[in-house]
Structure 1
């Protein structure tokens, strides 16, 4: 009987609240359009192989929208952007260039994307400033220091004997020897390369695997990130375990670019782990993105504003000092 009494009270409460419903007109906050940017400076040269995998690191420029704006955000092709070092010298400039997607010829279908002109490579330990301007809006800038590279220790991969020739599955493990002298932040990625060093496909955690199920406190572990998905960029901090070894160990899976059976397609020969040391501001931005998506439109959730390190505008000037480890398959 207790259950029916509880349900009856719930219905009564719901009816009471419905009877008290009222409508209030709320004025949306005023919005002043600003430039919005996203760019990641790395210590690696932008090779064709990396361009596909880290496409989201390219500079993107757009104009901010009001919260009442329902139209799609469009990038700007009329921006001027430059990267300065700590002495104020311009070390990189950018030109607009659209993108057509993976496996397609370069195009200009999407405005707002820019590529570097000089091919400058960021230097760990150095400070940099990104400056962006566009007609009709105030100029913006952001500053960061590129962190020291991570110490990635030897990793291992054990293939799943049950996988067939069209599947790639197995157990990936590696560790990072954390620096005890500083607070550090990391992202980890993985991909497959063929014998010629060409990208074969991205590696992702196999969340459907039974070995990855169950309760895992993950006190000194982290997850693989997906470079093209903001929600799946999963940074880790060494806070509370400074100087300890941070470990990854999980079942992973991969699928080739373009699908199997492509003409001239070689089998995967190497598994490449990429660990990115990132600045605190980059870590905080990705953490805020996680919180933002996790609210999932819940009206009772705490506010989850996105962090920004851009002065007079919005967005993220990110840094990534990459360390790579290749495991021969």
Structure 2
């Protein structure tokens, strides 16, 4: 039996003097289940050398634990995971790997594909995972059709004194939405040098936005996502504008990011292109990332509305996500 104590603010405690009580709470029963996250794509991002995703799209497998557990979550390296197509054929299998290729990594749970399979937009897939001591789980999705992009542009502000300093400008592009279906999208951007090598990341600058007052979750605003950061994965829905163009136009900034991530680079190469990647995502993927934003926005307040994370893994927890990627390259 565990006891829970609710401490009131000082003023309220004074008003309720003599009314303090201790309530005994029975911890809820918990059955450990598989928890995983994986994003199936059509391979465009991998072929385009989009390393800045980090581990965000990789397969990670763990086991759930009680809400009262205080130990850190630990992934497991003994899971068997396979991807099947709509005909039931195994098209991809995974092996456990270290998260850090340069050192022994204590964070288990990450897996690498062994066949190099890329998803086919419009096709259905099933992800099946099993591990000792827990029930086998399966999750399914249909990889969306490829987004259709219009022309893009970048209008710079005054040039920075050095390429390594923050550079600002307005980035614009459009998605031609399909009126026949409900659609959901994510957008990312990075900067390349003249040889097409990664130069730096692009960040949305909201200082000149006139819609900053109000809820953080804005279903009708097309935002640029920050790769590798779940809270800054910002999907957009075509709800209310189905079949219309979804236009992104916002002030952005970027600066030189050395490939190694550290060191002194006094003479960085000049930036040559902004590369925009737009992903068509399934409804379950959209709902999951919306729930992540709501969860973080509660800031762990006991007075906030409940913000449970969505899951599309029956019998377990997590997300089997999909992303049909299209790239647009804009000369600087």
Q: TM-score, normalised by structure 1?
A: 0.89
Distance 1:106 1:263 in 2: 29
1:79 equivalent to 2:79? Answer: yes
Task: Give the C-alpha shift of residue 81 in structure 1.
Answer: 0.7
1:67 equivalent to 2:62? Answer: no
Unaligned runs of 5+ in 1: 1-9
Distance 2:67 2:138 in 1: 23
Q: Structure 1 residues 298 and 105 mapped into 2: Cα distance closer, same or farther (>3 Å)? A: same
> 1:166-177 alignment to 2 at 5 Å?
166-177=165-176
SS of the equivalent of 2:25 reads coil
> 1:120-159 alignment to 2 at 5 Å?
120-159=117-156
Partner of 1:233: 233
> 1:19-98 alignment to 2 at 5 Å?
19-44=18-43, 46-47=46-47, 49-98=49-98
Partner of 1:273: 276
User: After the TM superposition, which of the residue ranges 127-136 and 254-263 deviates more from structure 2?
Assistant: 254-263
Task: Give the C-alpha shift of residue 176 in structure 1.
Answer: 1.0
Partner of 1:302: 305
The Cα offsets for residues 81-111 of structure 1, whole Å up to 9 and x where unpaired, read as 10000000000011111222xxx74864531
1:248 equivalent to 2:245? Answer: no
Task: Give the C-alpha shift of residue 227 in structure 1.
Answer: 1.7
Unaligned runs of 5+ in 2: 1-8
User: After the TM superposition, which of the residue ranges 39-48 and 308-317 deviates more from structure 2?
Assistant: 39-48
Is this contact kept in 1: 2:52–2:228, CA < 8 A? no
Is this contact kept in 2: 1:220–1:247, CA < 8 A? no
The Cα offsets for residues 236-292 of structure 1, whole Å up to 9 and x where unpaired, read as 111111111111111111231425843885322110111111000001111111111
Partner of 2:99: 99
Aligned-residue RMSD, C-alpha: 2.4
The Cα offsets for residues 109-133 of structure 1, whole Å up to 9 and x where unpaired, read as 5311111111101001100000111
Is this contact kept in 2: 1:63–1:76, CA < 8 A? yes
The Cα offsets for residues 194-228 of structure 1, whole Å up to 9 and x where unpaired, read as 22222122211123x3x235657978541111121
SS of the equivalent of 1:246 reads strand
Distance 1:264 1:203 in 2: 20
Q: TM-score, normalised by structure 2?
A: 0.88
The Cα offsets for residues 131-164 of structure 1, whole Å up to 9 and x where unpaired, read as 1111111111100000011111111111120533
Distance 2:319 2:145 in 1: 20
